[in-house]
């Protein structure tokens, strides 16, 4: 099953994402998992359609969020 995350530039709600940049200038995203932890997708690949690989495992101690995710509205060339 794939969890679709909606765009939210403030990351104010769980299950959302916002754009970010890696130190090397490549576009990535930040997400807020369903348990309200904020983390980066900088070690993941984001396809042109927003599909993230590999699956995302929240790095916060005790968090059980481990999902295949897709970023709704992802545009690889946007800032």
Residue 1 has a pLDDT of 85
Closest CA to 31 of 63, 9, 61: 9
pLDDT for the residue numbered 23: 80
> Residue 78 pLDDT more than 70?
no
Question: Which 8-state DSSP code applies to residue 20?
Answer: E
Inform me whether the pLDDT recorded for 79 exceeds 60. Answer: no
Note the pLDDT of residue 76. Answer: 81
pTM exceeds 0.85: yes
CA nearest 4: which of 21, 18, 16?
16
Query: pLDDT tens, 29-62?
Result: 999 999 999 999 999 999 999 999 999 999 999 9
Would you report the helix, strand and coil content of the chain in percent, each value rounded to 5? 0, 45, 55
């Amino acid at each position: 099953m794939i969890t679709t995350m909606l765009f939210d530039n403030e990351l104010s709600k769980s299950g959302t994402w916002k754009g970010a940049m890696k130190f090397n200038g490549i576009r990535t995203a930040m997400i807020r998992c369903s348990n309200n932890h904020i983390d980066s997708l900088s070690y993941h690949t984001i396809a042109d359609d927003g599909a993230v690989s590999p699956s995302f495992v929240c790095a916060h101690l005790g968090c059980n969020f481990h999902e295949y995710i897709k970023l709704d509205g992802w545009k690889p060339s946007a800032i």
